[in-house]
A and B are shown apart, each in its own frame.
Chain A
Amino acid sequence: MVNGLPAVTALLPALILAFTGLALLLVDTVRPDARSNTSMAVVGAFGSLAALAATVWLTASGGVSPDGGAVLLFADAIKVDTLALFFTAIFASVTALVLVAAHDYFHDHANPAAFYSLVTFAATGMALLAVANSLAVVFVALEMVSLPSYVLVAYLKQDRGSVEAGMKYFLVGALSSAIFLFGISLVYAATGSLILADIASASIEGLAGVLGVGVVMMIGGVAFKTASVPFHFWAPEAYEGAPAPVSAFLSSASKAAGFVVAFRVFTEAFPLEMAVSANVDWMLAFAVLAAVTMTLGNFAAAVQEEVKRMLAYSSIGHAGYALIGVAALTVDGPANGTVMGAAMAHLLVYGFMNTGAFLFVAMAERWGVGRTFEDYAGLARRAPVASTAMAVFMFSLAGLPPFAGFFSKYFLFQAAIDNGFLWLAGLGAINSVVSLYYYSRVVKALWLDDPESSSALDAIDVRPTALYAAVIFAAVATVLLLPGFGPVIETAEAAASALF
């Protein structure tokens, strides 16, 4: 607890991100012709690291509220608690990684400045999403994440794939935003409030049906943002077409942003007891979503021929795992907090390993090697360190024990079993086994296969320092999260338990 500070200090992480974005924009406006790639990247990265530092400081010191609990601001529309801070930490870390990596990725881009400010603005939106306590704020923040994302996906405007991906993303996104907004309005119609806690306590006599439709539509909005079935169609296209750092950003940070909505809005606005008594069984809906999402994502990933596309589908699969966090909840379930906390911890670990994997793809794009598994053959000969990092990401994503991904998955499945969802955990385990197949294909290509021709590796003479640094940092984080998993899971569980 940090006494003597105004309550608004709790918003420090989001504010730092916002001001960083504005500063970047300002510089670009004042000197639009200057090629300031490096300084932009440095400022952006430091801004997001400062936000991360502020988040960690707030978490460690117990927040700024006198009683150590949540801070409510702006007529209860904003609520800063450990849950929000936990997710903000994910957003800030991923943003920092992406910005550092982008420095090399956009080294010959005509005007990269806007990229950095757009990413920071999207991150600001995510940080805002994490603290939103009112459906109105949720929607505004969601759009604040989405709009920069559309632009970012289409950022390589000379590249047809990028533009097409941006277009698809935008169309699906606009549609699901509309659905989400309509869902909100139905919930408002049924309960007469937008503040989450008030929705929970509102009387809904005779309007349960309206509320139910509203909830289902909101689930649709969440499913879009987290790239879950049935709103996942945009994801492989967008991730594949977008510049690889953007893919990393979308599939890690933006996805986590979708989950923070799911975790907070559904548990706080529609508490389990009320949902069951009003026959709005969103847990069941999420359970079905989780099962379908992870199965479809993993099996689709297994048949891909391009690494980036495989990662995109596997990212859908991981959305399915994280959905267990809201799917495996029951009224008075003994492990409600644990299962959601485990999902949050998984998202944190995933933030590092998945970002790292996409950044490795970014590096491969920078090197000019192709996109398929075959094109990756033998890369380890010329880039052993980066390939080691990639092997770490792959094995960790597959959930092999020496890496952090094993623990986060294990905790998740164990908590689901404790809450009586043996079938969901079992399905998750089977999917993990499937995923080992396609993840190990990447490792096999990198380390075991021979390159088609010796000249195929010549391009690797380029050494993108910043990209390297980002990839290696992500790998080190993935490994170090294993011994350091204790505080992470405890923070996550404490944050999640506060919701029940």
Chain B
Amino acid sequence: MAAAFVGALTVFLAPDEWAGRLAFAISLVPFVGSLYLWSGFEAGGNALLGGEIAYATQIEWLEVGGRSVSWFVGLDGISLPLFVLTTFLVPLAILSAWTPVDTRQSQFYGLMLFMEANLLGVFAALDFFLWFVFWEAVLVPMYFLIGIWGGPRRKYAAIKFFVYTNAASLLMFIGFMSLVFALGDSVSSFALPEIAQAIAAGDLGTWFGIPPDRIAMVAFLAMFLGFAVKVPIVPFHTWLPDAHVQAPTPASVLLAGVLLKMGTYALLRFNFTMLPEQASMLAIPIAAIAVVSVIYGAMLALAQKDLKRIVAYSSVSSMGYVILGLVVFTEYGVGGATFQMVAHGLISGLMFMAVGVIYNATHTRMVGDMAGMADRMPVTVGILVAGAFGYMGLPLMAGFAGEFFIFVGSLSAPALPYAPVFTALAMFGIVIVAGYLLSAMQSTLFGPFELETDYEVGPAAFHDVAPLAVLLVAIIVLGVAPDIFFEMIRDAAVPVVEGVTIDG
């Protein structure tokens, strides 16, 4: 993280000509660092529920109203995969930026690295204040990335993104604060484990005359709405297509690959881990929202003509699976949801990058304008098709593993009534996904090349294709051997699930 911060500053001040290469080199440092953390990872259980925290560091920072705030970071089985995912995606995203980004390069790469540092902070922070600082700090570089380097309607998209997510953060902040206030003197810090355990121990008290269970419910709803915007779940998804379509490719990659995971990660950490009782009370509506997100997102994607919009809307759909996995509260559901976060991060990153490469070559993303791309850019197209299969959940790819775990978990969910019905409906989403992806692929990629251009459309440069290939390999590796992450995820997911069975 420190490397990314310092790197961001260095790149920001570096001249444009070699900013890209420098940024790429710097971004490898956190990646290697995270691999090192991974190799030495030995933690058990969930960080918030008394589990062992790997690489925990806690330094006193300051005190607010009798509660201390500290620089408290650490990783457990849920955060480590996302941590690695972030450090893995950023170098690739930077690589994919070499071709399209041609103005104000040092600023661009500086912001990318700055965002990486804050993203890592979000996943590692175990103190609410620290976490919130990082959480909000992610918005600032993204706002600039969309607003400066984005498409034609970039300003609108950037401001919409900023206002939406910021309002959501405020709501979430209020929700969480009401919990802390209601806990009163039983917590002495803003450390998330302490708060989570205090809530689990039933220390919620009355605050301003409001009974504890109502506070918990209000806080749950406020936080849920706050995170739902970030995820995003229907009907809070409207900022996403705008932001995605207007954002430059590398920013889209991070937006879909990592930023959306912040929402589901936070949902898991805050809503489902801290307030499992409220979550199971609201299980049916939440599952309904999840299924609606899956189906509706897929239907919207079906109706799009813009390749990037298709991928963007299908993110809404994929995130619906994650929510479904969370709400069923089974070992495989929660674990699968976390796994799906990583898988979707890789797959959507791949898709956005591939679409970006095609766009660079053809200057269009419209499905109707293109045909026969496969002739001109065989490697890129091949990878795009493979990625699309991954999206559809083809076995032996990461997407399949994630969705499979979720469905296994949700079919037999004690916490969710009518679980099989919800699962079946959600599975139907896969059919739609396959439908629209195949039809989009069919019309853009195959057949005779028809696009009339006054420039040469040829194979993409090596540094454009390389990140795609690396991602594809990662997707297949995760699909073939999901255990490299799933074991540790399950380790951390089980305590969350147990929290429900004890309470309800």
B154 within 8 A of A: yes
Closest to A400 in B: B136
* Assembled-state Cα–Cα distance A400/B260 (Å): 20
B63: interface (CB < 8 Å): yes
Chain A's nearest CB lies how many Å from the CB of B500? 31
A401 to B44, CA, bound (A): 32
Would you list which residues of chain A between 465 and 500 have a CB under 8 Å from chain B?
482-483, 485-486, 489-490
Task: Please indicate the chain B residues that have their CB under 8 angstroms from the CB of A407 in the complex.
Answer: 62
In the complex, A19 has a CB within 8 A of chain B: no
Determine if B137 and A402 form an interchain contact, defined as CB atoms under 8 angstroms apart.
yes
Interchain CB contact under 8 A, B162 and A338: no
How long is the Cα–Cα vector from A489 to B60 in the complex, in angstroms? 14
Contact partners of A367 in chain B: CB under 8 A: none
B133 within 8 A of A: yes
How many whole Å from A491's CB to the nearest CB in chain B? 11
- B263 CB to nearest A CB, Å: 17
* A433 with B64, Cβ < 8 A, contacts A395-B140, A448-B158 known: no
Which residues 448-494 of B have a CB within 8 angstroms of A? none
Q: In the assembled complex, which residues on chain A have CB atoms less than 8 Å from the CB atom of B181?
A: 417
In the assembly, what is the distance between CA of A402 and CA of B125, in Å?
Answer: 14
User: Which chain A residue has the least Cβ–Cβ distance from B169?
Assistant: A401
- Shortest C-beta distance, B401 to chain A (Å), equals 36
Q: What distance in Å separates the Cβ of B127 from its nearest Cβ neighbour in chain A?
A: 13
Chain A residue nearest in CB terms to B103 = A381
Q: In the complex the two chains form, is B61's CB within 8 Å of A483's CB?
A: yes
A410 vs B135: C-alpha distance when bound (angstroms):
16
Bound-state Cα–Cα, A402 to B141, Å: 11
A335 on interface, CB distance cutoff 8 Å:
yes
Partner of B63, one of A384, A388, A395, A486: A486
Cα(A384)–Cα(B104), bound, Å: 9
| Structural contact, B64 and A401, CB atoms closer than 8 A | no
Q: A105 to chain B: closest CB distance in Å?
A: 25
User: Which listed residue, A338, A400, A422, A449, touches B140 by the CB 8 Å rule?
Assistant: A400
B383 to chain A, nearest CB (A): 33
Contacts of B155 in A (CB 8 A): 444, 448-449
Given known pairs A395-B140, A402-B136, A433-B170, the reply for A448 and B147 (CB within 8 Å) is: yes
Complex interface: chain A residues within 8 A of B166 (CB): 400, 436
Assess A401 versus B137: contact at CB under 8 Å? Given A436-B166, A447-B147.
yes
Q: Is A448 a contact partner of B170 (Cβ separation < 8 A)?
A: no
Q: Does B107 contact A (CB under 8 A)?
A: yes
Closest residue on chain A to residue B174 by CB atoms: A429
Residue of B nearest to A489 (CB): B62
Tell me which residues across on chain B come within 8 A of A381, comparing CB atoms: 104
For chain A residues 356-408, which have a beta carbon within 8 Å of chain B? Answer: 381, 384-385, 388, 391, 395, 400-402, 406-407
CA gap between A128 and B134 in the complex, in Å: 41
CA–CA, A335 and B154, complex, Å: 46
What are the residues of chain A within 8 A of B159 when measuring CB–CB?
A: 440, 444
Instruction: Output the least CB separation between A55 and chain B (Å).
Output: 21
Q: Are B136 and A414 in contact (CB under 8 A)?
A: no
A343 to chain B, nearest CB (A): 15
- For B148, the chain A residues whose CB sits under 8 A away are 447-448
Chain A contacts for B65, CB-based, 8 A: 335, 338, 414-415, 418
Nearest B residue to A381 by beta-carbon distance?
A: B104
Q: Which of chain B's residues have a CB closer than 8 A to the CB of A411?
A: 64
In the bound complex, what is the Cα–Cα distance between A411 and B166 (angstroms)?
20
Q: Does B236 contact A (CB under 8 A)?
A: no
Q: A440-B162, A444-B147 are in contact. Are A486 and B140 (CB under 8 A)?
A: no
Give the complex CA separation of A491 and B486 in angstroms: 48
Per the bound structure, the CA–CA distance linking A422 and B166 in Å amounts to 22
Q: List A contacts of B61 (CB < 8 A).
A: 483, 485-486
B interface, by DSSP: helix, strand, loop or mixed?
helix
CB distance from A431 to the nearest CB of B (A): 13
Of all chain B residues, the one with the shortest Cβ separation from A415 is B65
A401-B132 in contact given A411-B64, A418-B65, A433-B170 (Cβ < 8 Å): yes
Residues of B within 8 A of A418 (CB): 65
Residue of A nearest to B131 (CB): A401
**Smallest CB–CB gap between A91 and chain B, Å?**
24
Which of chain B's residues have a CB closer than 8 A to the CB of A414?
64-65
Query: Which residues from B are CB-within-8-Å of A401?
Result: 132-133, 135-137
Judge whether B329 is part of the interface by a CB distance below 8 angstroms. no
Contact partners of B154 in chain A: CB under 8 A:
448
Of the residues B62, B134, B137, contact of A490 by C-beta under 8 Å: B62
Bound form: Cα–Cα A447–B108 in Å:
12
Write the chain A residue with the least CB distance to B121.
A402
A483 to B134, CA, bound (A): 13
Closest to A448 in B: B147
Q: Is B144 an interface residue (CB 8 A)?
A: yes
**In the complex, what residues of A have CB within 8 A of residue B12's CB?**
384, 388
Known: A401-B132, A447-B147, A448-B155. A485 touches B62 (CB 8 A): yes
Tell me the bound Cα distance from A449 to B132 in angstroms: 29
Chain A positions within 8 Å of B162 at CB level: 440
Is the Cβ of B64 less than 8 Å from the Cβ of A402?
Answer: no
With both beta carbons as reference points, the residue of chain A lying nearest to B177 in the complex is identified as A414
**Bound CA–CA A483/B166 (angstroms):** 22
User: A406 contacts which chain B residues (CB < 8 A)?
Assistant: 133, 136
What's the Cα separation between A377 and B342 when bound, in Å?
Answer: 40
Give the most central of B64, B136, B208: most A CB within 10 Å. Answer: B64
Complex-state Cα separation, A401 to B208, whole angstroms: 27
How far is B155's CA from A482's CA once the two chains are assembled, in angstroms? 29
Cβ proximity bits B61-95 to A, threshold 8 Å, 1 near / 0 not: 11111000000000000000000000000000000
Please give, as numbers and ranges, the residues of chain A lying within 8 Å of B63 by CB-CB distance: 486, 489-490
Q: Of residues 155 to 173 in B, which have CB atoms within 8 Å of A's CB atoms?
A: 155, 158-159, 162, 166, 170
Q: Which residues of B contact A385 (CB under 8 A)?
A: 13
A447:B62 contact, CB within 8 angstroms = no
Contacts of A384 in B (CB 8 A): 12, 104, 107
Contacts of B118 in A (CB 8 A): 402
Residue in contact with A402 in the complex, picked from B13, B133, B208, CB distance below 8 Å: B133
Distance in angstroms between the alpha carbons of A406 and B133 in the assembled complex: 9
Among A388, A400, A410, A448, the one with the most B-chain Cβ atoms within 10 Å of its Cβ is A448
Residues of B within 8 A of A449 (CB): 155
B208 to chain A, nearest CB (A): 8
Chain B residue with Cβ nearest A384: B107
| Cβ–Cβ contact A410 & B64, under 8 A | yes
Q: Which residues of B contact A490 (CB under 8 A)?
A: 62-63
Given the complex of chains A and B, what is the CA–CA distance between A385 and B104 in angstroms?
12
What is the distance, in angstroms, from B345's C-beta to the closest C-beta of chain A?
Answer: 23
B158 to chain A: closest residue by CB: A448
CB distance from A143 to the nearest CB of B (A): 38
Other-chain residue from B64, B104, B132, B133 in contact with A482 (beta carbon distance below 8 A): B133
CB distance from B1 to the nearest CB of A (A): 14
Q: How far is the CB of B196 from chain A (nearest CB, A)?
A: 21
The complex places the Cα of A486 from the Cα of B60 at a distance, in Å, of 9
Q: Which of A116-154 contact B (CB under 8 A)?
A: none
Separation of A407 and B63 alpha carbons in the complex (Å): 11
Residue of B nearest to A338 (CB): B65
A97 → B minimal CB distance (Å): 22
Q: Can you offer 26 A-B residue contacts whose CB atoms are under 8 A?
A: A384-B12, A385-B13, A400-B136, A401-B133, A401-B135, A401-B136, A402-B118, A402-B133, A402-B136, A406-B133, A406-B136, A415-B65, A418-B65, A440-B159, A444-B155, A447-B144, A448-B147, A448-B148, A448-B154, A449-B155, A483-B61, A485-B61, A486-B60, A486-B61, A489-B62, A489-B63
- Report which B residues bind A (CB closer than 8 A): 12-13, 60-65, 104, 107, 118, 132-137, 140, 144, 147-148, 154-155, 158-159, 162, 166, 170, 181, 208
With A381-B104, A401-B137 given, can you name 7 additional A-B contacts, CB distance below 8 Å?
Answer: A384-B107, A401-B135, A402-B137, A406-B136, A447-B144, A448-B155, A490-B62
The 5 A-B residue pairs whose C-beta atoms are closest, nearest first, are A486-B62, A401-B136, A402-B137, A448-B147, A401-B133
